[in-house]
Amino acid sequence: MAFIQRYFRKDKSNAVNLHSMCCFKELKRKNKMKNTTFQSLTMALLIAVVSLATISLGSEVLPPIADAGFSRYVAQEPIVLDGTGSYDPDNSGPLSYTWRQIAGPSVVILDANTATPTIGGAMQSGTGRDATPELVGFNQTDEVQKCVFELKVTDSQTNSSVDTVKVVIVPDFGANTLELGQGIGGLPLKYK
């Protein structure tokens, strides 16, 4: 609805100018509405294109992401590796896990086809009534020993990825005292 206000002077010279100015304001309002409508349609089209792109990306087959966990430091006791951070970005099925040692002194891997295998130095035969073999700790030496394990994760689409984790076997210090540095009041920190 247009509201045009007219003012006339005695000579009627401004009547046309005022009327033109009011019509021009109305034209601007109509153009603003057209711009707003155009912007809305443009935004709707953009949303539709982005939605289609997202849908087509969602159907893309992506390999799983292997996560072998953080590096570990061990002394004698067996430890559990942690591949539970692995995931499949396209959720194409359950994951299969395969662990193997790729560097370092030989160790035993129990449950190598799970997300959380246990590693240790050797298998020891059981004693007494329970003759089940047991995993025993690592063989410490006077040197730092570094082992590297690889985790391969496969999904139901047979896509796979790998990650590695380092396990450091610390030296056996025996009865020696290891000084770790200065403590509170300048006293040395000791490990016995």
CATH of the domain at 149: 2.60.40.10
In a domain, 15, yes or no: yes
Q: 74: closest CA among 17, 149, 24?
A: 149
Edge-to-edge strand ranges of the sheet holding 72-74: 72-74, 160-169, 145-154, 96-103
Structure token pair of residue 187: 């006293």
Q: 110: closest CA among 75, 144, 79, 156?
A: 79
Per-residue pLDDT tens over the stretch 46-90: 776 665 555 545 467 889 999 999 999 999 899 999 999 999 998
- The parent domain of residue 124 ranges over 72-175
How far is residue 20's CA from residue 55's CA, in Å, rounded to a whole number?
52
In a domain, 65, yes or no: no
What does DSSP assign to residue 185?
G
> 166 and 83 share a domain?
yes
> 82 and 154 share a domain?
yes
Query: Would strands 160-169 and 72-74 be described as parallel, antiparallel, or unpaired?
Result: parallel
In a domain, 188, yes or no: no
pLDDT value for 186? 62
> 42 and 79 share a domain?
no
How far is residue 28's CA from residue 15's CA, in Å, rounded to a whole number?
20
> 97 and 157 share a domain?
yes
Per-residue pLDDT tens over the stretch 119-156: 998 888 777 777 778 888 898 998 999 999 999 999 98
How far is residue 82's CA from residue 118's CA, in Å, rounded to a whole number?
9
In a domain, 166, yes or no: yes
- The type of residue at 74 is V
Structural domains counted in the chain: 2
- The type of residue at 25 is K
- Please compute the mean of the pLDDT values over residues 30-34 and round it to a whole number: 53
Most confident of 41-55, 110-124, 168-182: 110-124
0.85 exceeded by the pTM?
A: no
In a domain, 184, yes or no: no
